[in-house]
Each structure stands twice: as C-alpha cells, then as structure tokens.
Amino acid sequence: MTGKLYGLGVGPGDPELLTLKAHRILTESPVVAYPAPDSGESFARAIVAGHLSPYQLEIPIVVPMRAERFPAAEIYDKAAGEIAGHLDAGHDVAVLCEGDPFFYGSFMYLFERLGQLFPTEIVPGVSSLVASAAALARPLAARNDVLTVIPGPLPDAELEARIKGADTLAIMKVGRHFARIRALIEEMGLTDVAGYCERVSLAEERILPLAGVVEDSAPYFSMILIYKGAEDWIRALPAGKTVHAQ
C-alpha cells in the first residue's frame, strides 16, 4: 500500500490558526515537506514548529525567492521524486502550505506532479485573505457584494482594468510591486478606500490605511484591500483595529 499525500493548509501565520484536522494529520505524518527560502527559516515550518517531533523526517523544498528563477521546474521535479519515494514506501507525506494549499500556493506544483499518481487529500486552511479582512475589521464580502482577488505582479494596464471593474478587491502578493501598485491606486483616486496588511495574524502584523505606509516596498506577505465607496471605514481604522496577539 502506498502512502497518502496531504496538502496541508497551515493558515496565515498565527500557529493557533491551524485547524484541528491539519494538526492531527501533521502529527501523524512520518514525513513533512515544506517550502523554504535559500537562506533563513521556512515560514510554513515556523508556523507548526511547536507540533513537530524529532522522529519525523523533514524535506525542505528550497525555492530561490528571486522571481526570475521561480517557478523552477527542476526544483519541483526533484522534490516530487523524493516525496514519491516515501509514498511508494507506504509513508504518508504532509506538505505544509502557508494559508490554504489551493489559494495562490506553491503546492500546486507538487499537486500537478503527484496528484494523479497517489491518493491525495487537500486540507483547506485559513487564507491570508480572510485573515486580513479580520485584521482590518471590515467584512470582505456581505450581502450581494462581488469580491475580486487580483495578483499584484500583473502588468499595470491589466491591474488597472481589473481594479476598475471590481467593487471590493484584494491585491495579493504585493511585495516588490508595492510602489508601482500604490502609484496606480493613487492615480485611480482610490487611496482613501485602501487598507494595507502586512504579516497578518503574526505578532509583527501591521495594519494601516494605505495612505499611512511610508515605505516604498513591502514584504512578500502583504496585501492591499480596497473597499470602494467606504471612506468612513478607513477613517475608523485605528479605532476599529482588532488585536490578534493575546
């Protein structure tokens, strides 16, 4: 019997936002794989570090953060091969995924390679999208609102068209595109209805109106939410801020 492959959503960063299911599968899996940067700690691993045991085999999947080298097919071919070896040997493998595995996650590269070959289960997780709305203290979508999620790396013209056509929208993966995206939002007259979230749900979380961000760059795990026609909300932001850290 082969092992089972799990795509395990571990939530946006707060270790407590792990689900009971992900916790169970994590602690029962003899092999745990996760994305890791070429230097420094794996974020996905850090989220669940408190639950790992020295008896589990760990497979860091080292992915260079520089965009021009990502995604690198060889990296995922090699990782998939290694994981397939453990599955063939009858061991379950839990692949840790920041947020949710199927919401802009790199797990898809392993899923493409292994999902049809081995029994596979996706364990959904709390996405940074809903965690950001919680931190901003404003419903992401209510009643008959349409919600649009837009990746920040899109070129300006497409970004502008998408923003124009949307009501409430979230711009994901802002990172090194921050200055360009902020300029575009300013040009479109939407700065006053834009909120900024950085490292949401972590102790170092930053939540503020986009107009209040003084930096010209942002970390990879940052997001801009735009609620058109909601100037009152932005003005209420400091008072309405929820506190995640206990």
Residues lying near a copy of itself in the complex (CB under 8 A): 7, 9, 11-12, 14-21, 23-24, 100-105, 108, 111, 115-116, 120-127, 130-131, 133-135, 137-151, 153-154, 162, 165-166, 201, 236, 239-240, 242-244
Beta-sheet pairing, 222-227 with 194-198: antiparallel
How does DSSP classify residue 106? T
Task: State the minimum distance, in angstroms, from the CB of residue 161 to a copy of itself.
Answer: 9
Sole residue written with tokens 């364990």:
123
For residue 47, how far is the Cα from the chain centroid? 12
Residue 178 vs residues 129, 185, 210: alpha-carbon distances, Å? 17, 10, 10
- Residue 3 or 11 having the CB closest to a copy of itself: 11
User: Left if phi > 0, otherwise alpha if psi is -120 to 50, otherwise beta: which for 201?
Assistant: left
Name 136's Cβ contacts closer than 8 Å, sequence gap at least 6.
195, 197, 207, 225, 237
Residue 51's Cβ-side half-sphere holds a number of Cα atoms within 13 Å equal to: 23
Q: To the nearest whole angstrom, how small is the minimum distance from the Cβ of residue 31 to a copy of itself?
A: 19
Q: For a copy of itself, which is the closer residue by CB, 134 or 218?
A: 134
Nearest approach, Cβ of residue 92 and a copy of itself (Å): 13
Using the minimum distance from each CB to a copy of itself, give the nearer residue, 19 or 56. Answer: 19
Beta carbon nearer to a copy of itself, 5 or 79 = 5
For residue 150, how many C-alpha atoms fall within 13 Å in the half-sphere facing its CB? Answer: 27
CB of 14 or CB of 215, closer to a copy of itself: 14
Taking the C-alpha atoms of residue 198 and residue 52, their distance in angstroms, rounded to an integer, is: 26
Rounded CA separation 245/44 (Å):
19
Q: Return d(Cα 91, Cα 158) in angstroms, integer.
A: 45
Question: How near is the Cβ of 245 to a copy of itself at its closest, in Å?
Answer: 11
Minimum CB distance to a copy of itself smaller for 183 or for 236: 236
Q: HSE on the CB side for 99, CA within 13 Å? A: 19
Q: Between 28 and 77, name the residue whose CB sits nearer to a copy of itself.
A: 28
